[in-house]
Amino acid sequence: MSGSLPTDWDDVVAAANAGTRDAGQWRSLRTLSGPGPLLTFEGRDVVSFSSNDYLGLASHPTLIAAAQQAAAEFGTGSGASRLVVGGRPIHDRLEAALAAWKGTEAAVTFPSGFAANLGAIGALVAAAGRDRTVVFSDELNHASIIDGARLSRARVEVYRHVDLDDLAQRLAEHAGQRCLVASDAVFSMDGDVAPVAELAELCAHHGALLVLDEAHAVLGPDTPRPGRTVVVGTMSKALGSVGGFVAAPRPIVDLIVNRARSLIFTTAPSPVDAAAALAAVGLVRGDEGQHLTERLRANVALFRPGHPSPIVPVVVGDERRAVGISNALLEAGYLVAAIRPPTVAPGTSRLRVAISAAHEPSDVIELRDRITELTGVPHG
């Protein structure tokens, strides 16, 4: 057999790694200590502006106490898929709380938000018929939505970012087919928001099902709850725990329980994580949650007035420059992730500033000013 492709797997891996290094896209994992946002890295303190712990609940004493109690009562692991080994009462209580929070009839939890999107989209498309279903996906959707659409094996139509006219035209072109529209509510790399009310109205007009991922929507937008909206969310960000969920009308949740492969064939969220998430939902829906949300909103306004979410991008263009600025900020005591291809398009590498209610306003202002110095562009 002739050809220049390597046939030995050691050669394949070495060539792939060399290509990543040559492209300047090599990544490595950092290890940091501490509860956040104040962490320790290589023996010195750094303030993290890279975490999605938007309300600072991951180290909240109420969540820690709930997790400890659940570990003592139920153990640290679920043991298997809930359809095999059954759930724990803490799972039932969490799902009831999530449904009440999101204003839906029911909810079901997954080990991650990624698994929730894969499971929901896949189950809905399989029920509708892959050959008769079209999935419409915003071009800047999260990878979990993209992969869910691809793995569903339905036809996928990618519409221009938050362009309702483009989406309406594509929906009209597929009249008579079953249509599912999937979108982030807040987009994870730009921190901008989808026009969710208009999306819901457009879907209702065309008889399409709307799947809306609210993973980053801690400051809104508020999602309409008509019968044809499926809400995907996460416990891994603003709720300070780990896991994902789908909240929807009861028949849709029943369908997902029976059809979602990423729920059926994986171990259930641990009782510890479920208990922490349940405590977080209680806090978020109460006075303390409102206070934390307003503190978060105020911190975002300090960095970039009028920005609608806690994800604030600082686009610098060249990926090596983005990495250089990120490293300079780390030397100054601020951990800010440099996001580059393939996560974002070439020429749009950026600093992704993730702001939390746990940040001190003085740290937000200091980071803003240091980024202005390093980039030469005001960011206030």
Whether 216 is catalytic is yes
The catalytic residue among 188, 236, 241, 309 is 188
Asked if residue 20 is part of any domain, the answer here is: no
Residues 43 and 77 in one domain: no
Q: How many domains does the chain have?
A: 2
Residues 231 and 160 in one domain: yes
Domain CATH for 341: 3.90.1150.10
How many alpha carbons fall within 13 Å on the CB side of residue 307? Answer: 27
Residues 50 and 65 in one domain: no
DSSP 171-207: HHHTTTSEEEEEEESB-TTT--B--HHHHHHHHHHHT
Residues 65 and 149 in one domain: yes
Asked if residue 8 is part of any domain, the answer here is: no
Domain CATH for 224: 3.40.640.10
Residues 345 and 263 in one domain: no
Residues 100 and 221 in one domain: yes
Asked if residue 298 is part of any domain, the answer here is: no
Whether 102 is catalytic is no
Asked if residue 304 is part of any domain, the answer here is: no
Amino acid at 363: D
Residues 136/159, Cβ–Cβ less than 8 Å: yes
Residues 345 and 267 in one domain: no
Residues 352 and 243 in one domain: no
The catalytic residue among 60, 102, 216, 307 is 216
Predicted confidence pLDDT, tens digits, the chain (380 residues): 445 676 789 888 999 999 988 887 888 888 888 888 999 988 899 999 999 999 999 999 999 999 999 999 999 999 999 989 878 999 999 999 999 999 999 999 999 999 999 999 999 999 999 999 999 999 999 999 999 999 999 999 999 999 999 999 999 999 999 999 999 999 999 999 999 999 999 999 999 999 999 999 999 998 766 567 999 999 999 999 999 999 999 999 999 999 999 999 999 999 999 999 999 999 999 999 999 999 999 999 999 999 999 999 999 999 999 999 999 999 999 999 999 998 999 999 999 999 999 999 999 999 999 999 999 877 66
Q: Give the residue numbers spanning the domain of 328.
A: 30-54+310-375
The catalytic residue among 237, 241, 270, 326 is 237
The pLDDT assigned to 30 comes to 85
Question: Tokens standing for 195?
Answer: 């026009």
Asked if residue 18 is part of any domain, the answer here is: no
Asked if residue 49 is part of any domain, the answer here is: yes
The pLDDT assigned to 226 comes to 58
Asked if residue 251 is part of any domain, the answer here is: yes
Asked if residue 115 is part of any domain, the answer here is: yes
Residues 223 and 339 in one domain: no
Residue 39 CA to residue 47 CA, distance in Å, equals 6
Residues 69 and 49 in one domain: no
Percentages of the chain per state (helix, strand, coil), in multiples of 5 = 45, 20, 35
Residues 367 and 261 in one domain: no
CB atoms within 10 A of CB 222: 11
Nearest to 239 by CA among 112, 90, 359: 112
Which residues does 2 contact at the CB level (< 8 Å), separation at least 6? none
The pLDDT assigned to 376 comes to 84
Which residues does 361 contact at the CB level (< 8 Å), separation at least 6? 298, 299, 302
Relative to beta strand 337-339, strand 334-335 is: unpaired
Residues 268 and 168 in one domain: yes
Whether 291 is catalytic is no
For residue 108, the surrounding DSSP H or E stretch is: strand 106-110
